[in-house]
Structures are given as structure tokens and as C-alpha cells.
Amino acid sequence: MKFPFLKGQLHKSKQQLIFLSNYRAYLYLPNAPTQTIAMARILTGIQSTGRPHLGNILGAMMPAIRLAKDPAHEALFFIADLHTLTTVKDPAQRQTYVQATAAAWLACGLDIEKVIFYRQSRVPAVCELAWYLNCFTPYPMLANAHAFKDKARRLSEVSTGLFTYPVLMAADILLYAADIVPVGQDQLQHLEIARDIAATFNRQYGDTFVLPQAQSRDNIQIIPGTDGQKMSKSYNNTIDPFALEKELKKAIMAIKTDSTPLDQPKNPDHCAVFKLYSMLANQALTADLRAKYLAGGYGYGQAKQALLALILEQFREERQRFRAYIQDPYSIEQQLIIGEAKARAMAEQMLEKVRTKLGYTPTTKNR
């Protein structure tokens, strides 16, 4: 927690006023000694490469939405639709995926009164900043990025867009001077790259960019997929909590388990069904399932049924809201337009600062 003292004060003071300047939000505490304290700005994005899966939702969206509820945070959440061009080429599919991603954010409780919510592509300033940052990014730093290295054996299939993907991500973050970026573990290296690029630029041109921190929860978890590996669209092992019940059941029943016979005790810590269950259930339910595994006489089929029931229960309202949003793309659009106007205004301010530092402003402006 970056501002623990601030949190304490917030709970004590009922009269605090929060006001937003154009670029930074400040807390004004009338009863405290006169002071203004910068709020922490949080920012995160999800690629719209399909419907967000349980990994995205539990690993990033829900924690981010919880953080946004804290009045000490100012939040920007976006749909990383420019990044998807490295894989999604079909325009109709792109539109569908963007809508599904937006619907998932909103269904999970994103409140546009508290969060600036936008499509990355609707703030083209990010592309200009990405170009500037490209020119401060050493080639070996990108050549060492996991996402590139995983594909480097088939270089002919790697686009330059995929190679420079982390630079666009750095631009996403630095453009809005984000302090905290809540992400899953797989994105931590990208955060390091963003910090390195920002520090390089700042050394040469003076204090310009905020060095972002990955959100440092001790329990950043990797949500397993149906094959026990990290849940990921590229591994085809996802669970979609918004799917029709029949499809959801099919995905859960397909979770890989070992061949321990029904009557034998089972190791909960080596089982993806148990891990997923424990991420959604409270302590008592988790302890109960653990005991059933250890006692024997409890089959994986039963555990899967329990997981299905839990997902249906925990996501009941989110599933209803998701369906409603999908049927009402106009309402999604209305919400995004509001956030995009705010995001563009913020982005333009930062970009102007960078242009000036780099000598890209017209000379007449300085007269």
C-alpha cells in the first residue's frame, strides 16, 4: 500500500472533499492540518481477444475494480484493442470482442462515475507516444521479453507489432502518469520494461514520466486453466463464467485430474479443480472441500459439480448484467464515449509535455 497513512485519515475524516484537477486528483482534508496529498492513480488494461476468462477476471479485473472503490485511488481501465491487432485481423470479430470485453468490465462492477473507462484505440495519442518511446528502447530489452522469446523460434511469424508490443504497453501506462498497475504475474516483465523506458527518458530530459509500480499484492495468483497450466486463450484452456450453463459445465467437466480412484484420498494442492474452487469460495467452504479430498470417497466429478455450482452462484448477477449489456451495445458505447473524452484530454496534456521536451512544438508557440 503506497499511502497507508492516507487510508487511515480517510476513514477518520467524514468531511473530506475530493476534487479533481485536470491532471491529478487531490484530497483536501478540512479538519486536518492544511494539506493536499496526491492520490494514487491506478491503470490497467485487458486485451480484447475474445471474452475475458476466469483468469482475467479473478487475476486482474475484479482486484482492479476493488481498488477503484478506494477513495484514495483514481482509476483508468481500458480495453487494449490496439494490442489485439497482433493476433485478431478480422474487423467484425474485433468489434464483437471489444463489446464482450466492455460488457465483462461493466458486468463485474466497473462504475464509470469512479473509473475512466475507454478503448485504447480511441486515444490515438498513445501511438504517438509509443513512437517516441520506441526511440528510447534498446533492442535487446525487447528481444528478451517473454512474449517475443516464446515465438522467436518462428521469426517469420513474428510481426514488428508483436516485437514492440511492450513499448505500446509502456505508452499506455506512462501517458496517464499511472502510479499503480494491477496486473497478473505474466505482465510483471512488461511493467519492468515500462519503468526502464521511463527512467531512461527522465535521465535525459528531466522528470517527465511517473515510474509505475505493479500492484504488489503478496498473493498475486496465476489462475490455472482446464489443463492445469496458466489459464490463457492461447492455450485453449479457458473457463468463461459468462458462458451458457451447458457450455460452462462442459468446460469444467473437461478440467484435467489424475486417475486416483474415487475411494482413495486425493491431494487438493495438486488439483486445478480445488485451486479454482478455493479462489472463489470462503475459508469455511474451502476447508470443507479440502477435508473431503483428504478423506477419500469423494470423486473429482463431485468436486467439479461443486465448482460449477459455486461459479453459477458467485457470478449470478454478473452473468445477468453481462447478458443485458451484450444485448444493448448502445449503452456500452455511451459509457465508453464519456471515458474516452476524459482520457483524450489527459493524454493530450502529457503528450504536449513530451513534445516540448523533444523539440516538437512549433516555434511560434514560444513567442
Nearer to ligand TYM among residue 175 and residue 289 (C-beta): 175
CB of 212 vs ligand TYM, minimal distance in Å:
8
Q: Per-residue string for binding with ligand TYM, 181-220, x by CB under 6 A?
A: x-xx-xx--x------------------------------
Choice between 6 and 49, CB closer to ligand TYM: 49
Of the residues 55, 63, 268, 339, which one makes contact with ligand TYM according to CB under 6 A: 55
Cell of 343: 482520457
Which residues face 40 on adjacent strands?
73
Torsion, Cα 98 65 228 302, to 10 degrees, reads -110
Q: How far apart are the C-alpha atoms of 79 and 85, rounded to whole Å?
A: 13
- Nearer to ligand TYM by Cβ, of 6 and 251: the residue is 251
Question: At 345, which amino acid appears?
Answer: A
Query: How many C-beta atoms surround the C-beta of residue 115 within 10 A?
Result: 24
Q: Residue 79 phi/psi, 5° resolution?
A: -100, 115
Residue (46 or 306) nearer to ligand TYM, CB: 46
Q: Least Å distance between CB 353 and ligand TYM?
A: 20
- Which of 25, 27, 42, 47 forms a contact with ligand TYM (CB under 6 A)? 47
Q: Which residue has the cell 459509457?
A: 335
Tell me whether residue 187 or residue 335 sits nearer to ligand TYM (CB atom). 187
Rounded Cα gap, residues 229 and 224, in angstroms: 5
Q: Does the footprint of ligand TYM cover residue 63 (CB under 6 A)? A: no
Coil, strand or helix at 43: strand
Q: Is 275 in the site for ligand TYM (CB under 6 A)?
A: no
Binding mask 77-96 for ligand TYM (x = CB under 6 A): ---x--x-------------
Query: What residues contact residue 204 under an 8 Å CB cut-off, 6+ apart?
Result: 136
CA dihedral 197, 201, 206, 207 (to 10 degrees): -30
- Asked if 267 contacts 293 with a C-beta cutoff of 8 angstroms, the reply is yes
Query: Rg of the chain's alpha carbons, rounded to an integer?
Result: 22
Distance CA 332, CA 328 (A): 7
Q: Is 56 in the site for ligand TYM (CB under 6 A)?
A: yes
Using Cβ positions, the residue closest to ligand TYM within the complex turns out to be 59
Handedness of CA 136, 140, 142, 145 (dihedral sign): negative
The answer to whether 42 touches 75, Cβ cutoff 8 Å, is yes
Q: For the CB of residue 17, give the shortest distance to ligand TYM in the complex, in Å.
A: 30
Using CB under 6 A as the binding criterion, the count of chain residues that bind ligand TYM stands at: 24
For residues 127-186, which are near ligand TYM according to CB under 6 A?
A: 169, 172-173, 181, 183-184, 186
For ligand TYM, which stretch binds (CB under 6 A), given 28-36, 43-51, 123-131, 359-367? 43-51
C-beta atoms surrounding 46 within 10 Å = 22
Would you state the cell numbers that stand for residue 344, as one nine-digit string? 483524450
The least CB distance from residue 89 to ligand TYM, in Å, is 17
- Cell (9 digits) for 281: 469460495
Which residue stretch of 11-19, 52-60, 304-312, 354-362 sits at the interface with ligand TYM (rule: CB under 6 A)?
A: 52-60
**Residues found near ligand TYM in the complex (CB under 6 A):** 44-47, 55-56, 59-60, 80, 83, 169, 172-173, 181, 183-184, 186-187, 190, 222-223, 230-232
